[in-house]
Amino acid sequence: MSWKFGEVPKPGAEQAFDACDYFVDEVIEPWKIPDTREQIRSQKHRALREAVTATDEAAVQLLLESIGSDREIIVNMAPGGANTLLFIAAQAGSERIVQLLLEAGADGRAHAVTKYSPLYTAVHNGHTQVAALLLDRFPELVQQVTVERWLPFHAACINGHCAVVELLIKHPYVEELLGVYRSPSGELEWRLPFDPNAQDVAGQTALYVGCLLGNPQLVETLLKWRVKCVRHTLASTTDHEQAEMGGSGGRDHGGGGGGSSSSNPLSPTSRKISFGIQSIMSRLSLSGGRTDPSEEGEEGQQGEMRCPLDLDILCGAARETALLAAVRGGFLDVVTILLENGADPNVIARAVEDQNDPK
């Protein structure tokens, strides 16, 4: 006796699928067709990228002229998360290639991961003319923060590019980019395109970095920066209260200016200052306050010209001032500049305590 299993009939849906598959078996699925147009764009972009990387101005110009209507798309391609062509040209400092790419429609996008923009890399490498071009076209990039929370302003100061620093602080920014910033006391207010006292992930300001590196030219350039500010009268602070603060100038440093030198002992920071530093302090007569004599007549007036930098902000892991960083580094010229501009020598460093330290 023989057994024979009959075929189980397929459901209607499977039969329909088999029938459809039979008739379209030879048809190529459209989404699997290689896009010839994209391939051509990729080839043109690779050739253009090689020319930009080699800073071959003639080749770049020739390739851009031959691209055609897809020029803007090809110029802004960044395959595999690579940097844009404008970023590469700005990094190399090729002013001509940057201009050609801008005319071709290159945008100023920052890298998706590092957040480095074309302006940032131009500033970082000290390419003043390229930075000026990019600042004219994309002024908003002055506010672009990297993953390290560095502004282009930080990059210029870290690398000591004084000419670029002056470009960033003197550029005529449009009104829409200006934000409102105030002094620590809240009395002075100014409008700037970026925060001059912004701190990076390590808690360092641009001024602090310049003092930490002992760059007197940079520090002097920063402290000569003047912006128009408006003075606001604080109703909560009276002349009597200011007198009781021991001539600290209305600034609260968390214990840095609480009384005269005759009633309080010297702080640990003051004891570490060398005799040469102390002589500088005595010559400058710092006990009279922070206001320059030329600026005394401007008190209470609107439209004063002041430096927007906070000289006494605590920075870095050591939570110290720029003055203390310069003192520790032995940069006497930087210390002199800071003291002449009113840095408070009595602000005490307040290092962040490690919560895991058993002590």
pLDDT band for 112, please (50, 70, 90 cuts). very high
Distance between CA atoms of 222 and 311, rounded to whole angstroms? 11
Mean pLDDT calculated for residue range 50-73: 93
The pLDDT tens digits of the residues spanning 168-201 come to: 999 999 999 999 999 888 888 999 999 999 999 9
- Secondary structure percentages of the chain, helix, strand, coil, to 5: 50, 5, 45
The pLDDT tens digits of the residues spanning 113-128 come to: 999 999 999 999 999 9
Neighbours of 8 (CB within 10 A): 6
pLDDT band for 37, please (50, 70, 90 cuts). confident
pLDDT band for 351, please (50, 70, 90 cuts). confident
- Same CATH topology for 25-177 and 178-232+304-352: the answer is yes
Q: Are residues 142 and 135 in contact, defined by beta-carbon separation less than 8 angstroms?
A: yes
The residues that bridge with 315 in the sheet, in sequence order, are: 320
pLDDT band for 272, please (50, 70, 90 cuts). very low
Per the CATH hierarchy, to which homologous superfamily does domain 178-232+304-352 belong? Answer: Ankyrin repeat-containing domain (1.25.40.20)
C-alpha distance across the termini of the chain, in Å: 92
pLDDT band for 48, please (50, 70, 90 cuts). very high
Kindly give the residue spans of alpha helices, DSSP state H, lying in 125-232.
Answer: 128-137, 152-158, 162-170, 206-212, 216-223
The pLDDT tens digits of the residues spanning 219-247 come to: 999 999 999 988 877 554 445 444 444 44
pLDDT of the residue at 208: 96
The DSSP annotation for 3-40 comes to --PPPPPPPHHHHHHHHHHHHSTTSPPGGGS--HHHHH
pLDDT of the residue at 17: 62
Q: Are residues 122 and 142 in contact, defined by beta-carbon separation less than 8 angstroms?
A: no
Mean pLDDT calculated for residue range 128-140: 97
Distance between CA atoms of 120 and 151, rounded to whole angstroms? 8
Tell me the fold of 25-177: 1.25.40
Tokens of 226: 């003047």
Q: Are residues 212 and 288 in contact, defined by beta-carbon separation less than 8 angstroms?
A: no
Q: Is the per-residue pLDDT at 129 higher than 60?
A: yes
pLDDT of the residue at 73: 93
Q: Is the per-residue pLDDT at 294 higher than 70?
A: no
Least confident among 26-30, 102-106, 134-138, 168-172:
26-30
The pLDDT tens digits of the residues spanning 7-24 come to: 556 666 666 666 656 555
Mean confidence (pLDDT) of the chain: 80
pLDDT of the residue at 291: 44
Least confident among 43-47, 96-100, 279-283:
279-283
pLDDT of the residue at 248: 41
How many Cα neighbours within 13 Å face the side chain of 147?
6
pLDDT of the residue at 235: 56
Q: Where are the domains of the chain?
A: 25-177, 178-232+304-352
pLDDT of the residue at 36: 86
Q: Are residues 168 and 161 in contact, defined by beta-carbon separation less than 8 angstroms?
A: no
